[in-house]
Chain A
Amino acid sequence: MIRQVSAVAAGIAFLLAFAPTTWAHHSQSEYDLKGKVDVEGEITKVEWRSPHAWIYVDVASDKGEKVNWSFELPSPVTLMRRGWTRDSLKPGDRVKVTGAPAKNFPTVAIANFIRDGSGKPLFTGTTQVSGADADAK
Chain B
Amino acid sequence: MRAASRLALSLCVLTLGPALAGAQWLTYPTPGIPRLPNGAPNLKAPAPRTPDGKPDFSGMWFANTPSRDFCKEKDCIQEERMAREQINLGMKLKDGLPYTEWSKEQMKARRANGGREDPHAFCMPPNFPRAWTLPQHSRIVQTPRMMVVLHEFNAAYREIYLDGRPLPVNPNPTWNGYSTGHWEGDALVIETNGIRDDMWLDIQGSPITESGRLTERLTRPNFGLMTIEIAVNDPKAYTKPWSVTIEMAAIVDTQMLEEICLENEKDAKLFK
Contact = CB atoms under 8 A, between A and B. Distances in A.
Interface string B50-93: 00000000000000000000110101111011101011101111
Given A80-B257, A104-B272, A113-B73, A29 B84 contact: no
Interface centre among A26, A124, A136 (most CB of B within 10 A): A26
B26 interface: yes
Given A14-B111, A22-B135, A136 B272 contact: no
Given A27-B203, A52-B266, A137 B111 contact: no
A30 interface: yes
Q: Using C-beta atoms within 8 Å of the partner chain, give the interface range for chain A.
A: 35 or more
User: Chain B: interface secondary structure?
Assistant: loop
A117 interface: no
Contact of A137 (B95, B114, B115, B267): B95
Contact of A102 (B23, B118, B270): B270
Interface centre among A50, A131, A134 (most CB of B within 10 A): A50
A44 interface: no
Contacts of A126: 70-71, 80
Contacts of A21: 80, 82, 135
Contacts of A124: 71, 73, 76-78
A121 B91 CA distance: 35
Contacts of B266: 52, 54, 72
9 contacts: A23-B135, A25-B153, A27-B114, A30-B116, A81-B257, A82-B78, A83-B20, A125-B78, A133-B84
Given A49-B264, A131-B87, 12 more contacts: A25-B267, A49-B263, A51-B261, A77-B152, A82-B78, A83-B23, A104-B270, A105-B272, A121-B77, A124-B78, A137-B90, A137-B96
Interface of B: 16, 19-20, 23-24, 26, 70-71, 73, 75-78, 80-82, 84, 86-88, 90-97, 111, 114-116, 118, 120-121, 123, 135-136, 152-153, 203-204, 254, 257-261, 263-267, 270-272
